[in-house]
């Protein structure tokens, strides 16, 4: 008997149908057009349902804070201290710890992350070229971890070789000069590398030039993704972890003000990610290591670990979409809105 439920049978059916010829096909496509209008009414139902709890990690606060500027007073001192040096540079001391924590990456979807300081991405670190960076790292997690910085440093501070691994319960002091100026990153380099990165151990490291860039409305965007079922393929994409967060909570900017985006790609499993801004163009400073650029575009592609500083000005008030120009990533969470206010 009968019932052709298998894929093979459907292909057979398609073969039979095609014998009916072009006339039949034309009739079919017309039929689908007739059926369309009512369904099209729902086409803006794309996006996640609900909202995340922002008590522990607030994407809006993360976006515009560095060196724990989202904490105040004594609480901030516990994680970050600045000490001016005789040569005019600054000693910046950080307390970073690795800890396992379940994080909410889309409304109601929880991911068993490995984090720096309980958040993904980890805290953004920011210094001026020539400053001394001293990081007291404690591994409170269940696996060996490290902090591997991009930037100039001695091999012993690289956090990458087997002997660099900081065992659970152990600690390590990373110290190096902040150089060169630019937009860098840090991530765990314990093996297996893929898992340690996609589980959430990464963050942004900004080194400002001695002569600072012009004032601007600055923000940090880490393009990341999560493989919730551990099949080597991401289920959730975002900037700064939470899927479609800025669709519901647009990033507010002012018309005519310079907006500077520190954009870092830390997406695991997919070879590249991208950034596209609607109705506008932006200047691209790749890796942020130069103060001038020739590159002006509205779509920028970055491979994993690659980063760029983007600068633009909003000409018009209103809402402007930004997202990965891989449509799949956009519809799986990597999409948001700017709202420019006159």
Binding site for other proteins (CB under 8 A): 1-5, 7, 9-10, 12-14, 16-17, 28, 31-32, 35-36, 38-40, 42-43, 45-49, 106-112, 226, 228-229, 235, 243-244, 328, 331-333
Name the minimum Å distance from CB 270 to other proteins. 12
DSSP tag of 119: B
DSSP bridge partners of 218: 260
Least gap, CB of 10 to other proteins (angstroms): 6
Shortest reach from residue 238's CB to other proteins, in Å: 11
Which residue, 80 or 226, is less far from other proteins as judged by CB? Answer: 226
Residues 235 and 83: their CA atoms lie apart, in Å, by: 43
**From the centroid of its chain, how far is CA 223?**
2
Whose CA is closest to 136, among 155, 113, 160, 117? 117
40 or 342: CB nearest other proteins: 40
Residue 103 or 206: which CB sits closer to other proteins?
103
Q: How far is the CB of 331 from other proteins (least distance, A)?
A: 3
Nearest CB to other proteins, comparing residues 178 and 332:
332
Nearer to other proteins, 109 or 120 (CB): 109
- The rounded Cα 8 to chain-centroid distance in angstroms is 42
3-state secondary structure of 319: strand
Q: φ, ψ for residue 249 (rounded to 5)? A: -125, 85
CB of 89 to other proteins, least distance (A): 44
Distance CA 260, CA 180 (A): 19
Beta bridge partners of 274: 301
**Least CB distance from residue 242 to other proteins, whole Å?**
12
DSSP letter for 318, please: E
Distance separating alpha carbons of residues 80 and 136, to the nearest angstrom = 10
Q: In the complex, what is the shortest distance from the CB of residue 318 to other proteins, in angstroms, rounded to a whole number?
A: 24
Please, which residue, 117 or 228, has the CB nearer to other proteins? 228
Q: Which of 45/86 has CB closer to other proteins?
A: 45
Structure tokens at 310: 């983007």
The CB-of-234 to other proteins minimum distance in angstroms stands at: 10
**Residues 264, 189: Cα–Cα separation, whole Å:** 17
Contacting residues for 196 by C-beta, under 8 A, at least 6 apart = 114, 143, 145, 187, 188, 189, 190
**Residue among 110 and 316 whose Cβ is closer to other proteins:** 110
Contact 243/48 with Cβ under 8 angstroms?
yes
Return the closest-CA partner of residue 300 out of 266, 264, 337. 264
> Could you give the strand order of the β-sheet that contains 272-277, starting from the edge strand earlier in sequence?
251-254, 335-341, 318-323, 272-277, 299-303
């Amino acid at each position: 008997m009968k019932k052709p439920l298998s894929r093979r049978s459907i292909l057979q059916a398609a073969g039979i149908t095609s014998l009916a010829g072009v006339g039949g096909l034309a009739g079919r496509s017309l039929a689908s057009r007739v059926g369309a209008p009512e369904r099209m009414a729902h086409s803006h139902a794309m996006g996640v349902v609900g909202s995340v709890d922002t008590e522990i990690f607030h994407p809006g606060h993360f976006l515009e804070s560095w060196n724990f500027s989202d904490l105040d007073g004594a609480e901030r001192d516990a994680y970050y201290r600045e000490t001016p040096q005789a040569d005019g540079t600054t000693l910046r001391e950080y307390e970073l710890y690795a800890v396992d924590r379940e994080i909410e990456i889309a409304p109601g979807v929880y991911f068993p992350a490995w984090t720096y300081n309980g958040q993904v991405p980890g805290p953004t670190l920011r210094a001026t070229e020539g400053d001394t960076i001293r990081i007291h790292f404690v591994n409170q997690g269940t696996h060996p971890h490290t902090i591997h910085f991009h930037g100039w440093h001695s091999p012993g501070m690289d956090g990458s070789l087997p002997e660099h691994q900081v065992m659970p319960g152990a600690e390590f002091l990373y110290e190096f000069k902040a150089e060169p100026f630019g937009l860098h990153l840090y991530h765990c380099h314990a093996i297996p590398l893929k898992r340690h990165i996609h589980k959430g151990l990464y963050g942004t490291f900004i080194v400002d030039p001695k002569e600072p860039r012009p004032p601007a409305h600055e923000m940090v965007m880490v393009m990341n993704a999560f493989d919730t079922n551990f099949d080597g393929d991401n289920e959730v994409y975002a900037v700064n972890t939470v899927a479609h967060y800025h669709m519901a909570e647009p990033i507010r900017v002012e018309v005519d003000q310079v907006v500077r985006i520190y954009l870092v790609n830390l997406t695991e499993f997919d070879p590249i990610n991208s950034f596209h801004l609607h109705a506008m163009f932006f200047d691209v400073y790749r890796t942020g290591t130069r103060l001038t650029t020739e590159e002006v575009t509205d779509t920028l592609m970055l491979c994993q670990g690659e980063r760029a500083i983007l600068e633009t000005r909003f000409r018009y008030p209103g809402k402007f979409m930004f997202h990965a120009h891989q449509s799949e990533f956009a519809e799986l969470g990597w999409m948001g809105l700017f709202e420019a206010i006159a």
